[in-house]
Amino acid sequence: MVAIAHPDIASTVQPVVTSRHAAKVFESGDGIRGLQLDVPPGTILGLVGPSGSGKTTAVRLMTGVLEPTSGELEVLGVSPQSFDSATRRRIGYMPQTSVLYPNLSVWENLDFFASLYGREWRSHDALAAALEFVELMGHETKRVADISGGMRRRLSLAATLIHAPELIFLDEPTAGIDPILRRKFWDQFTSLKDEGKTLVVTTQYVGEAAYCDYVAVLADGELLMVETPDGLRRAAYGGDIIDLELTDRPDPTLIERIRVAATAADCRPVGINGLRLVVEEAAVALPSLSAWLGDNGIGITQAEEWLPPFDDVFVELVSRHRNGLEAIDG
């Protein structure tokens, strides 16, 4: 499958990250291939995919930790392998695991990571503000070994943001933390985006795609597509979805008549009296379909757009990708 750069992204001015078929293939054959995307400034790009799909490898390529085996990649206008100190100061990176020193206190850890970027970030106010941002004030004297996993992730986030980077890479920041904290994290990411920062966030929680401006779907070491969250749904099912609940059980003739009336790409029964239609645009199709049903005396109890959970969307996309691969192999 060909990796797709979303047209909206492609049209924006000077992307912060530009990848042209960048690939990193390890000796084992794992890695990521055909990474084709542009990340505009001031957006959140979510890298979504199952474990082993290549999300972390993609982030490591963008941060310069790994060198591409092929393709071209530019971050902030330069190859990650050529980052100078000034460029590195513009980047924040939070790895998958909490990289904190267990014998140091919360404050000392933050102070240490601030020091990596220069003395100005070590001010008391800057450290306090970072801790305030992740709601860790009051815990600054605690040893990291003694705080919870969620607090460590928040401290890691504070350490990543302490030098006010404009491009932030977060590798599974919400992994292993409770839903309430996950929500808080995404609120903070959104707040950072509102400040003009650009975020590249990997996650296994497909539902978190909803918080992103753009979502890159990865599976089996390939970038399947880059889309907006809504675009992802449409891509998964071929359009918007309308659920109808009729008063009577529809026969195949009626089903076909309804599909034609709604100009739906697909219409199939769901349950006893239900129908699920795939239309170009639900907001346009739904009023006209309701009118047509009334004009033709077809009783309905419910007609609404159905927003499939991203888990379903993701499963649909990945299944389609894998079926396609099997078909090619077959």
Partner 1 sequence: MGELRDAATRVLAFGRKELYAILRQPRLLVTLILGPFLILALFGLGYQQESDPLATLFVAPADSEFTAQLEQESAAFDDRIELLGTVAERTEAVDQLRTGIADVAVIVPSAPIETIRGGERAVFTVLHDQLDPFEQATISLISRTTVDLVNRRLLEELIASGQEESEDLEALLPAARESATALRIALEAGDRPAVEAQRRSLARRLDLIEQQTGSTEVLVESIREQFSSESADSSVGGSLDSLGTLIDDIDPGAIGDPLDAEIKGARQIEAELEALSEQVADFQSIPPDILVSPFGAESSVVGSVDLDITSFYAPGVIALLIQHIGITFGGLALVRERALGTSEVFRVSPVHAAQILAGKYLGYLVAIAVVAGALSLLMFGAFGVPLAGQVGSYVLVLLLLALASLGIGFVISGVVQSDTQAVNISMIVLLLSIFFSGFFLSLERLVVWVRSVSWSLPITHAIDSLRDVMFRAEPVDVRTLWSLGGASFGLFVVGLYLLQWRMRAE
Q: Which residues contact partner 1 by CB under 8 A?
A: 60, 63-65, 85, 88-89, 91, 93, 95-97, 99-101, 103-104, 108, 111-113, 115-119, 122, 143, 169
In three-state secondary structure terms, 168 is: strand
- Quick one: CA dihedral 314, 317, 321, 323, positive or negative? positive
Shorter beta-carbon distance to partner 1: residue 103 or 253: 103
Distance in Å, CB of 303 to partner 1, minimum: 51
Q: What is the dihedral of CA 270, 274, 279, 283, to 10 degrees?
A: -140
Are the C-beta atoms of residues 109 and 144 closer than 8 Å to each other?
Answer: yes
Shorter beta-carbon distance to partner 1: residue 118 or 294: 118
Strands 214-219 and 44-48: parallel
Distance in Å, CB of 86 to partner 1, minimum: 8
Distance in Å, CB of 271 to partner 1, minimum: 49
Sequence-distant (≥ 6) Cβ neighbours of residue 155 within 8 angstroms: 98, 100, 106, 109, 110, 134, 136, 144, 147
Distance in Å, CB of 229 to partner 1, minimum: 28
Distance in Å, CB of 162 to partner 1, minimum: 11
Are the C-beta atoms of residues 34 and 221 closer than 8 Å to each other?
Answer: no
Question: What is the spatial order of strands in the sheet that 222-227 belongs to?
Answer: 70-75, 17-25, 31-39, 222-227, 214-219, 44-48, 198-203, 167-171, 91-94
CA distance 145 to 147: 6
Shorter beta-carbon distance to partner 1: residue 75 or 282: 75
Shorter beta-carbon distance to partner 1: residue 169 or 189: 169
Shorter beta-carbon distance to partner 1: residue 96 or 290: 96
Distance in Å, CB of 103 to partner 1, minimum: 4
Closest CA to 94 of 199, 182, 190: 199
Sheet strands (E) in 213-297: 214-219, 222-227, 240-246, 266-270, 274-279
Distance in Å, CB of 50 to partner 1, minimum: 22
Are the C-beta atoms of residues 214 and 273 closer than 8 Å to each other?
Answer: no
List residues bridging with 44 in a β-sheet: 199
Shorter beta-carbon distance to partner 1: residue 69 or 96: 96
CA distance 108 to 143: 9
Shorter beta-carbon distance to partner 1: residue 119 or 194: 119
Distance in Å, CB of 160 to partner 1, minimum: 8
Shorter beta-carbon distance to partner 1: residue 119 or 330: 119
